[in-house]
Structure 1
Amino acid sequence: MARISGPGTDKFVQGQFTQHVDEVTNEQSLRAAACTHKGRTYCLTRLVRSGEDLLMDFNTSQAEATITHLKKYLMLFRGTTLETLSAGRIIGLIGKAAAVSVGGEEADSLTGPGQVLKVGDSHLIRIENTADHTARYEWWQATTEQPVPEDIPEITPEQWLASSISAGVPWLTEASQEAYVPQMLNLQHLQGVHFKKGCYTGQEVIARMHFLGQLKKSLHRLSFNNAHQAPNVGTKLLADGKAVGEVVNALMTGDLNGEMLAVIRHDASSKVLSLDGMDKVTISLQQLPYAVPEQLPSET
C-alpha cells in the first residue's frame, strides 16, 4: 500500500492514471491503470480517498519499480510525495458475514463495487462479486492495525486469487506488464477507465481504441481440466493451430483442474481452444459475472 500526499496529489494522479480523480471520494473507491505513452498497462491499482490524500495498492513484486517510475513524474509537483506504508495492509474478505464482523450492520449498506465504509481509521470497500454471486470486500488499514475478528475464517492467498479470477478481475505480473491496453483487460467494465477526463499518459491510444471501436480482443474467463499444473502467464491459446490469445492469470482449483483469465481475440473465442504445449488439457469458456458488450458477435 502507498500514500500520495501534498498539494499536487490530485493533479498528479489525474495526469498518470485512467480514472477521474474527482470521482474518488470518501464514499467511493475506484480502480485505475497507469500506462505507457503507447497506452500499455504497467500498473493496475485501486484509488482510496483518505482525507486530502490518496491511497493505492501495488503488486508486491512490482511495487518498487512502479513507484520509482511514477516518481519521475511526481518531481513536477513540489511538496507532493508518494511513499509506501510499511505498517499498512489490505485484507481480503469473502462473504457478507465477514464484512459485518468488521464494519457492523452498516456494512449492509455496501451493495455495489467501489462503495466505501469508514471503520475507525480504516476503509471497508465492496468489490466485485464472484461468478456465483458471493460478495467480496477489501479492508484497507493504512495507519493502525485493527485485529481481524476471530469469527472470520482465514483464507489462503490462493483462495483469494481464485476469487478474483472468478470475479473476472485480473492482476499483472512481470510477464504481463506493458502487454495490454486497459480495455483488453476489461478495465472499462471494472470501474477503471474514465473516457471523458482530460489528458493523461497513454490517453490518446486508449481513447482512440474506445471511440473508434478498435478493440479486437479482451479478457475471458475459462476453466481447464486434465492439468497437473496451471499454465504459465503468457502461454498461448490456440484455435485451428493458430495463436489467438494468451493466459493472463491461472490457478489450480482442484487436483487436475483450475480456472484462468485470458485475453482472446473476439473472432476466435467461440472456437475450440487449446493451450500451447499442453495438448491433453481441455478448456471451456465460462461466463464472466459482468457484461462485456465488445465480446458479442457483430450485427454487421
Structure 2
Amino acid sequence: MATHSFMATLDDLNIVKVSGEQRVDYLNGQLTVSTKKFDGGSARLTAHCDFKGKMFAAIIISQCNDAFFLSMHKDSAIISQEQLKKYGVFSKVDIQINEELHCIGIAGDENIKHLRVLFPALSSTHMSTTNNEFGQAICFSDASLRYLCYLSDKGKQRLLDISDADAFVPCERWNMLEIEAGIANIQAATMSQFVPQMLNFQSIHAIDFDKGCYMGQEVVARTKFLGKNKRATFLLSGTLESELSINAGDNIELQIGESWRRGGVIVRAVSRPNAVDESGNSKTVKLLAVMPNDTDPNAVVRLKDSDVRLSVTPLPYELTR
C-alpha cells in the first residue's frame, strides 16, 4: 500500500444532503446501490444516472444522524441536486447542497494520528464511517490508507490546532491517490456520457444488481447481463517535461502501426512535480481514461496531438463484467 502524508482541502467536492422521512425509499429509486440495506456505519460508492443509464455523478454516500450525505465533484453536484429535486417533489425529502461542512482529505501516519484525536473511535476498515460533533470521517484502505472527512468549522480549526499546521494543501494530492485507487468521477465535460460499468463501478462494489428499479436501471442491467459494455476505465501514467493542461474530456490516442487513432477519453487527471527533479520542470502525470476494454496492457498511448507518452498501469482491483 502506497504511503503519502498530507491534509488537503477538497474544494472540488460538494456534499448534497438528503433528509426527510422518505429519504431511504426515495434514494433507493435514484442510485445504483440499495439504501434500504444501508449500514449506518459504512459508506459506499454509487452512481446517479439519467434514464439512459448515463451518469450524472459518481458519488460517495454515507449516513449521519437522520440524513444521507452524497459527496461528488462540484460539477456533478449542481446537476445531480437539480435532478434529485425534480423527482423529489413527490416524496417527503429535503435536498440541499450542504454549506456547513468542509471536505478534507487526510493521509499519512502522523496526520491520521492527529485525526484520531478528533475522532477517538476512528476505524481503519475500508469504507467505514465515524461520526461525532466535529463531523464525519470515511476510511479508504484500497491502494492507500486515507480519510475523507466532512468537518464543521470547529472541527476544521481543531484539526489545524492539533496538527500545528498553518494551512491545508490543495486537492491535487488527494486526487492523485483517488486516481491510483482507480476511482473515477464525473465532471462537466463527461456528464451523461458513460454508463457506470465504463467507469468500472461493477468492480468497486458501486452497483447492486439485485436491487429494485432506479433511474437507468434497465440499461445498467442490460449492459451486464447481455455483455454489451465494450469500454472500461484504465489507469495511465507518464511524465511531463513542460507545462501542459490535462483535463477531463480530453482525448487520448493509441498507436496503430505508424499512425495514431482516437483511443479514449480522460475522466480524471492530475500532475505533480517529480520529487527527484530539482529543477521542478518534470512532472508525474496520472490519469484515468475510458478506453476499449480489450486495450493491450503494453499499448503505446499519448495525449492527443502531443509528444507525452503514457503507459498502462495495473489497477488495484480486478475488472469484472
Mark the CA change 1:96 to 1:129 in structure 2 (over 3 Å): closer, same or farther: farther
Q: Is the 8 A contact 1:85 1:142 kept in 2?
A: no
For 1:148, the equivalent position in structure 2 comes to: 159
1:248 maps to which of 235, 243, 267: 267
1:4 maps to which of 18, 21, 24: 18
Instruction: Tell me how far 1:94 sits from its aligned partner.
Output: 0.9
**Structure 1 residue identity aligned to 2:261:** K
Post-superposition Cα deviations, 1:50-102, rounded to whole Å, max 9, x if no partner, equal 2232111232234233212211110110x321112211122111134423322
> What SS is found at the alignment partner of 2:173?
helix
* Alignment pair present for 1:187 and 2:215: no
> What SS is found at the alignment partner of 1:57?
strand
Q: Normalization by structure 1: what TM-score?
A: 0.87
* Alignment pair present for 1:39 and 2:58: no
After superposition, the CA RMSD in angstroms is: 2.1
Gaps of 5+ in 1: 295-300
Mark the CA change 1:83 to 1:144 in structure 2 (over 3 Å): closer, same or farther: farther
> What SS is found at the alignment partner of 1:91?
strand
2:225, 2:247 → 1: CA distance? 33
Instruction: Tell me how far 1:142 sits from its aligned partner.
Output: 6.0
1:77-96 matched pairs, under 5 angstroms: 77=91, 79-96=92-109
* Alignment pair present for 1:100 and 2:118: no
**Structure 1 residue identity aligned to 2:265:** E
* Alignment pair present for 1:172 and 2:186: yes
For 1:274, the equivalent position in structure 2 comes to: 302
Instruction: Tell me how far 1:5 sits from its aligned partner.
Output: 1.3
> What SS is found at the alignment partner of 1:87?
coil
Instruction: Tell me how far 1:115 sits from its aligned partner.
Output: 0.8
For 1:298, the equivalent position in structure 2 comes to: none
**Structure 2 residue identity aligned to 1:141:** L
1:137 maps to which of 147, 151, 154: 147
Q: Is the 8 A contact 1:227 1:257 kept in 2?
A: no
Instruction: Tell me how far 1:231 sits from its aligned partner.
Output: 2.8
Q: Is the 8 A contact 1:24 1:47 kept in 2?
A: no
Q: Is the 8 A contact 2:272 2:285 kept in 1?
A: yes
Q: Is the 8 A contact 2:240 2:285 kept in 1?
A: no
**Structure 1 residue identity aligned to 2:151:** Q
Instruction: Tell me how far 1:180 sits from its aligned partner.
Output: 0.6
For 1:118, the equivalent position in structure 2 comes to: 131
Instruction: Tell me how far 1:227 sits from its aligned partner.
Output: 4.8
**Which deviates more, 211-220 or 150-159?**
150-159
Instruction: Tell me how far 1:202 sits from its aligned partner.
Output: 0.3
Q: Using the aligned pairs only, state the percent identity.
A: 24
Instruction: Tell me how far 1:145 sits from its aligned partner.
Output: 3.9
For 1:297, the equivalent position in structure 2 comes to: none
Q: Is the 8 A contact 2:270 2:287 kept in 1?
A: yes
Mark the CA change 1:25 to 1:289 in structure 2 (over 3 Å): closer, same or farther: same
Instruction: Tell me how far 1:259 sits from its aligned partner.
Output: 0.8
1:256, 1:140 → 2: CA distance? 30
Mark the CA change 1:283 to 1:58 in structure 2 (over 3 Å): closer, same or farther: closer
Instruction: Tell me how far 1:144 sits from its aligned partner.
Output: 5.8
1:140, 1:24 → 2: CA distance? 19
1:233 maps to which of 248, 254, 258: 248
Instruction: Tell me how far 1:152 sits from its aligned partner.
Output: 7.3
Q: Is the 8 A contact 2:43 2:138 kept in 1?
A: yes
**Structure 1 residue identity aligned to 2:264:** G
Larger strand fraction of residues: 2
1:151, 1:145 → 2: CA distance? 12
Instruction: Tell me how far 1:275 sits from its aligned partner.
Output: 2.4
Mark the CA change 1:242 to 1:111 in structure 2 (over 3 Å): closer, same or farther: same
Q: Is the 8 A contact 2:251 2:265 kept in 1?
A: yes
2:90, 2:83 → 1: CA distance? 13
Instruction: Tell me how far 1:160 sits from its aligned partner.
Output: 1.4
The aligned length equals 287
2:89 maps to which of 75, 84, 88: 75
**Structure 2 residue identity aligned to 1:269:** D
